[in-house]
């Protein structure tokens, strides 16, 4: 019999439980994506030719137009606002520097409901125009179509521009005053310094922000569904839930994944081609120039417009409905949805962060190349839209669920029902996979700041790997871990596509309650749940603003 000693003597090192656990976690995170490709390659009923000849070109065209429009608009708004607050001092700049982040706390689908309510025929804008000019019906005047591609681009841009703004503002902050002074000495004006110095140096940050924005646009369901814009994501819902064809939905999901992968590759290629280094040993930040008079008012107005569109308008409309319909706050269904949201969001956040810490620690203990390659692979869930993950999780779990139930029924005579897909298990799993990149990234960064000498000292005192993790790493990582738990929880609260697909029957969260009531044109009933979602989102924005002061 071969003993452990003989195995070690032959140079065969069996993987530790930490390495095996890390590999298992990585497998669980990646499995839904692999499952989607499997269902697409081997569907029960191949409708790919039918999709190609009918709806897929329209889905693809609308998705590309949406991505391009939102990407361009957020690039212009986010980069412009970042340049203004980084290079100039104008009235309200100190407040606006942080207020411009607040739209991140409001999901785009809530902004869509608010915009339609504000601009529709019975809304305050058109009502005021009719009273002002004496118009009696819609035939007396022209007003742009609200539920359209243009409105969807506008709403998504207002909600997502802070991604570009935050990354670009940090890039502008890190630029040296020396480059600005050289450009100015060569006669470059304000526009020339921006176009020839500031923007090229910040290009990697801009590209990263725009890539994130475009991926979020592909993932969006609530906004495009409310505006009746047929994209690849709405196509997944239509083919799966209405046509009852999971294979066709998986094939559309593969198209979405290809688009996302292309965005990631383009963003990385852009950063590789444009690398800049600060060669000066003394870094001096760029001094802000004071803007007074009309220039200062114009800069303030330019920063106020995206803040008003992304935060003041949706928050104001939703708050007014929440106040006008105060009786809806006592609706037991609202608080059941709130409790469900708190339960699944908290479970997913704790599990995802714990798994992220375990994965990073296991990879560090192994010290091998293959486990280290797992780390970037496990971030794919964050790039994959929620609808795609819904397909990759629900179909395999349903098959496993039925087999387990049949086995228990055969052995005991008792039918336990669907224990995985009939409960919130699938929803928690989807949240963990979708937002695992946040947990893993925070754990990796925090663990990297802990000196290896501390772990070596603990091992020399007889502590094993688990005790080192609990006694050394976790206390030093506590702040980062708690921040990651909060960020994952907030994203779980706002997630809509995966929740709509994976929630058990008659199980609502705040996001689904908001969507369901707004879809029925009942914004008064939707407002309290929407306000709670906004309140939770603002917690994450506050944490983000504090970390980027």
Asked whether residue 283 is assigned to any structural domain, the reply reads no
Asked whether residue 278 is assigned to any structural domain, the reply reads no
Which pLDDT does position 15 carry in this prediction?
Answer: 63
Tally of domains in the chain: 2
Which pLDDT does position 3 carry in this prediction?
Answer: 46
Residues 518, 502, single domain; the answer is yes
Asked whether residue 98 is assigned to any structural domain, the reply reads yes
Whole-prediction pTM = 0.86
Asked whether residue 153 is assigned to any structural domain, the reply reads yes
The count of other CB atoms within 10 Å of the CB of residue 482 is: 13
Residues 66, 106, single domain; the answer is yes
Residues 381, 530, single domain; the answer is yes
Residues 479, 506, single domain; the answer is yes
Residues 98, 34, single domain; the answer is no
Residues 39, 93, single domain; the answer is no
> For residue 510, what are the domain limits?
15-44+325-549
Which pLDDT does position 2 carry in this prediction?
Answer: 45
DSSP state of 291: -
Computed on alpha carbons and rounded to an integer, the radius of gyration of the chain in Å comes to 26
Residues 93, 220, single domain; the answer is yes
| Residue in this structure with the two tokens 């207020």, named with its chain if needed | 99
Asked whether residue 7 is assigned to any structural domain, the reply reads no
The count of other CB atoms within 10 Å of the CB of residue 196 is: 14
Which pLDDT does position 44 carry in this prediction?
Answer: 80
Spatial contact of 170 and 78, defined as CB atoms under 8 Å apart: no
CATH number at residue 437: 1.10.3720.10
Q: 549 CB contacts (<8 Å, ≥6 apart)? A: none
Asked whether residue 331 is assigned to any structural domain, the reply reads yes
Asked whether residue 5 is assigned to any structural domain, the reply reads no
Residues 70, 33, single domain; the answer is no
Asked whether residue 536 is assigned to any structural domain, the reply reads yes
Residues 299, 309, single domain; the answer is yes
Residues 383, 527, single domain; the answer is yes
Which pLDDT does position 291 carry in this prediction?
Answer: 86
Can you tell me whether residue 125 is helix, strand or coil? helix
What does the pLDDT profile of the chain (549 residues) look like in tens digits? 444 444 444 444 556 777 788 888 888 988 998 899 988 888 888 888 888 988 999 999 999 999 999 999 999 999 999 989 988 899 999 999 999 999 988 999 999 999 999 999 888 999 999 998 988 888 888 888 889 999 999 999 999 999 999 888 888 877 766 666 666 666 666 666 777 677 777 788 888 889 889 989 998 999 999 999 999 999 999 988 888 888 889 999 999 888 888 887 777 776 665 555 554 545 566 678 888 888 999 999 999 999 999 999 999 999 999 999 889 999 999 999 999 999 999 999 999 999 999 998 888 887 666 667 777 778 888 878 888 888 899 888 888 988 998 888 888 888 888 888 888 999 999 999 999 988 888 888 888 888 888 888 888 888 888 888 888 888 888 888 888 898 899 999 999 999 999 998 889 999 999 999 998 889 999 999 999 999 998 888 887 777 666
Which pLDDT does position 9 carry in this prediction?
Answer: 42
Residues 545, 447, single domain; the answer is yes
Beta bridge partners of 88: 289
Spatial contact of 530 and 317, defined as CB atoms under 8 Å apart: no
Residues 233, 361, single domain; the answer is no
């Amino acid at each position: 019999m071969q003993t452990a000693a003989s195995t070690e003597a032959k140079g065969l090192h069996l993987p530790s439980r930490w390495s095996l656990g890390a590999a298992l976690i990585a497998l669980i995170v990646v499995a839904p994506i692999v499952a989607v490709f499997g269902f697409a390659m081997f569907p029960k009923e191949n409708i790919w030719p039918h999709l190609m000849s009918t709806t897929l070109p329209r889905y693809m065209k609308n998705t590309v137009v949406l991505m391009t429009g939102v990407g361009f608009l957020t690039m212009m708004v986010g980069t412009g606002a970042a340049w203004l607050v980084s290079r100039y001092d104008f009235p309200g700049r100190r407040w606006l520097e942080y207020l411009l982040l607040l739209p991140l706390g409001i999901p785009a689908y809530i902004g869509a409901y608010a915009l339609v309510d504000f601009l529709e025929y019975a809304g305050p804008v058109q009502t005021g125009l009719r009273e002002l000019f004496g118009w009696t019906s819609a035939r007396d005047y022209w007003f742009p179509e609200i539920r359209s591609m243009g409105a969807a681009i506008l709403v998504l841009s207002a909600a997502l521009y802070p991604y570009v703004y935050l990354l670009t503002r940090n890039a502008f902050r890190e630029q040296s005053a020396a480059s600005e002074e050289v450009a100015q000495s060569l006669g470059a004006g304000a526009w020339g310094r921006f176009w020839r110095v500031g923007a090229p140096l910040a290009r990697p940050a801009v590209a990263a922000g725009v890539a994130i924005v475009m991926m979020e646009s592909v993932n969006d369901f609530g906004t495009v569904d409310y505006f009746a814009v047929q994209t690849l994501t709405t196509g997944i819902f239509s083919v799966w839930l209405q046509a009852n064809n999971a294979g066709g939905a998986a094939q559309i999901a593969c198209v979405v994944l290809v688009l996302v992968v292309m965005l990631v590759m383009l963003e990385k290629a852009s950063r590789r081609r444009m690398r800049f280094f600060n060669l000066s040993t003394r870094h001096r930040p760029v001094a802000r120039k004071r803007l007074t008079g009309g220039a200062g008012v114009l800069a303030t107005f330019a920063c106020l417009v995206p803040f008003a569109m992304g935060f003041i308008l949706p928050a104001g409309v939703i708050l007014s409905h929440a106040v006008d319909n105060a009786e809806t706050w006592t609706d037991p269904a609202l608080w059941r949805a709130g409790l469900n949201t708190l339960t699944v969001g908290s479970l997913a956040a704790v599990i995802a962060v714990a798994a992220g810490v375990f994965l990073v620690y296991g990879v560090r203990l192994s010290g091998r190349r293959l486990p280290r390659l797992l780390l970037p692979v496990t971030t794919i869930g964050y790039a994959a839209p929620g609808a795609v993950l819904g397909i990759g999780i629900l179909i395999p779990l349903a098959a496993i669920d039925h087999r387990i139930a049949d086995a228990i029924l055969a052995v005991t005579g008792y039918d336990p029902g669907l224990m995985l897909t009939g409960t919130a298990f699938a929803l928690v799993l989807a949240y963990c996979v979708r937002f695992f990149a946040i947990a893993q990234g925070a754990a990796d960064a925090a663990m990297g700041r802990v000196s290896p000498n501390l772990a070596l000292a603990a091992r020399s005192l007889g502590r094993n790997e688990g005790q080192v993790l609990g006694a050394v790493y976790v206390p030093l990582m506590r702040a980062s871990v708690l921040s990651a738990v909060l960020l994952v929880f907030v994203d779980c609260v706002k997630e809509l596509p995966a929740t709509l697909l994976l929630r058990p029957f008659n199980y609502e969260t705040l996001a689904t309650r908001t969507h369901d009531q707004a879809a029925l044109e009942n914004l008064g009933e939707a407002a309290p749940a929407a306000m709670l979602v906004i309140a939770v989102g603002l917690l994450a924005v506050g944490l983000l603003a504090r970390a980027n002061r």
